[in-house]
A and B are shown apart, each in its own frame.
Chain A
């Protein structure tokens, strides 16, 4: 997965004329239409728009869990659209960190074991994976609850475990789907602050799909979508990162 000759080192992701359709004939739905889109390294980009506008589809295409119908997708120098399924699996394992709306923590594993899962996927020894996972659990402030099952944790705590899980392999791109939708306002704010403080770095990027206008101020840029199109991408007028002094 070497960099293509025309790749841009400053970019985390670049999408060129990406289309994605579901169904065929009369039932065909165009979820993404000629999307051109870039994510810079070191930024937290918010993808916003009404339900059904294609935000999650776009996120899935960037992360390599959904194949685009056409167009070019380059993520940290890798042409994702040219990879076969096995290569995409490896790409996701090595490059992408996931944070989900419903957390998707395995309910029968402790918080620490959940964080260790991506390390085990990488083939790390179980004991070593546990040790490393514990350091990330500490980073998100859940050290004392490392051995709790997800059911014993609050929604905010579960999302912090999910963040630790997404970070533990130190992926270059972290994709988050509605990370605050299941949380109250204050917890949502804490989670976004944690994204900025622990997840963001100069050689890493975060793309967050959200409806939640309360967290808009945490994005460096905001991309607005409507009916499968990117309407606009603009710097955050609310002046987020610099004012909050959250960049490491």
Chain B
């Protein structure tokens, strides 16, 4: 009877196309909006990921990587002396204002890297991070560098009234705020950042060989009273902050809810119409001895088919959109983690099954005697 179910579904072209196209739109919008949401949230942690430190140590009050709560210079030594720490280096990470040669100002994300190791230096596209040892040297990230007038090596701009000379262009992704990334040696960065009593705001550390970063982070916290996070913990801390303190989840959540409601209504109504129009045929099948369970299986199969075809098409369109508009350095924040694919598929399947239930309820309650009503 399942072949009959498939033929009943595919034979009614108009209904089939309506169901599949509705689910295609729902799937596409779910994936597209969900991917933009994920893309935006993942961009909040780009400043962490580009550094690649196993352990981040900060002020305990810090809520995200974008906050600046300075530490004492002596905190660096305290971290170095904590059990399980292989090495620890200071880092400045601040948003500072850059004064361009054309007179404009723009905010940049300034990294002050350890003078000796340059730990956290980016992958270079041109020039070399070793050049950061030179006086006034800075490296500029290519993404968003148009805000600095696309500087080339040798060109200059100012930060905090101190001249910065570009010595290389780095391959860094865009962050949530679309700030250009600027890297300098730690001592030089102290001059570029606005003067404060304390300026170092992070200590980056690594565990001794074979030690678990999470355990070592706990040991650092216990020994110093500072907050110490593994990279993954720090990413979640930052993402959690943006999820709780920005309108992104509610804004995209509302769009997704609307998509869900519209999809459920359209698909549900179309399925119901399908059941209504086929009432006499379902009645005939019941009269001829088809059990309600067999009819239920037939309708569920029809729902599964339109769900799979609709989701497949929608996901395909979503992938094309992501390919054309996405990418790490695209202006469009777009990331499709596997969990999003699974969740969106589950939602589409839920819509199909919920809609099918409406039809099933109608068909199961249908009296076979309906076939004798003229």
The B contact surface, by secondary structure, is helix
Minimal Cβ-Cβ distance residue in A for B9? A108
Measured between beta carbons, the chain B residues less than 8 angstroms from A118 are 288-289
Total B residues in contact with A, Cβ cutoff 8 Å: 27
- Pick from A91-99, A195-203, A225-233, A238-246 the stretch touching chain B: A91-99
In angstroms, Cα B366 to Cα A66, docked, is 12
Q: Are A63 and B287 in contact (CB under 8 A)?
A: yes
Asked whether B284 lies within 8 Å of A98 as measured between CB atoms, the reply is yes
State whether the Cβ of A10 lies closer than 8 Å to any Cβ in chain B.
Answer: no
Rounded to whole angstroms, the CA-CA distance of A236 and B280 in the bound complex is 33
| Interface assignment of B368: CB less than 8 Å from any CB of chain A | yes
For A63, what are the chain B residues with a Cβ–Cβ distance below 8 Å? Answer: 287
Instruction: Report A-chain residues with C-beta under 8 Å of the C-beta of B294.
Output: 121
**In the complex, what residues of A have CB within 8 A of residue B288's CB?**
92-93, 98, 117-118, 121
A109 CB–B CB distance under 8 Å = yes
List B residues 113-141 near A (Cβ within 8 Å): none
Chain A 121-136 per-residue mask, 1 if CB under 8 angstroms from chain B, else 0: 1100010000000000
Q: Which chain A positions have C-beta within 8 A of B374?
A: 101-102, 178, 181
Shortest A96–chain B CB gap in Å is: 8
Chain B residues with Cβ under 8 A from A96's Cβ?
287, 289
- Type the 1/0 row for B1-29, where 1 means its CB is closer than 8 Å to any CB of A: 10110011011100000000000000000
Q: Are B371 and A109 in contact (CB under 8 A)?
A: no
Q: Are A104 and B10 in contact (CB under 8 A)?
A: no
In the complex, per-residue mask of B341-374: 1 if CB is within 8 Å of any chain A CB, else 0 = 0000000000000000000000000011101111
Known: A66-B369, A101-B374, A108-B12. Contact between A113 and B7, CB under 8 A? yes
B275–chain A nearest beta-carbon distance, Å: 14
Chain B residues near A65: list those with CB within 8 A: 286-287, 367-369, 371-372
**Which among B283, B286, B369 has the greatest number of chain A C-beta atoms within 10 A?**
B369
The answer to whether B215 has its CB under 8 Å from any CB of chain A is no
Q: Cβ of B287 and Cβ of A98 under 8 Å apart?
A: yes
Q: Which of A60, A94, A113, A178 has the most CB of B within 10 A?
A: A60
For B264-292 the 0/1 string (1 means CB < 8 A from A) is 00000000000000001101111111110
5 A/B residue pairs, CB under 8 Å, sorted by A: A60-B369, A60-B372, A93-B290, A117-B4, A121-B294
Residues of chain B having any CB pair with chain A under 8 Å: 1, 3-4, 7-8, 10-12, 280-281, 283-291, 294, 367-369, 371-374
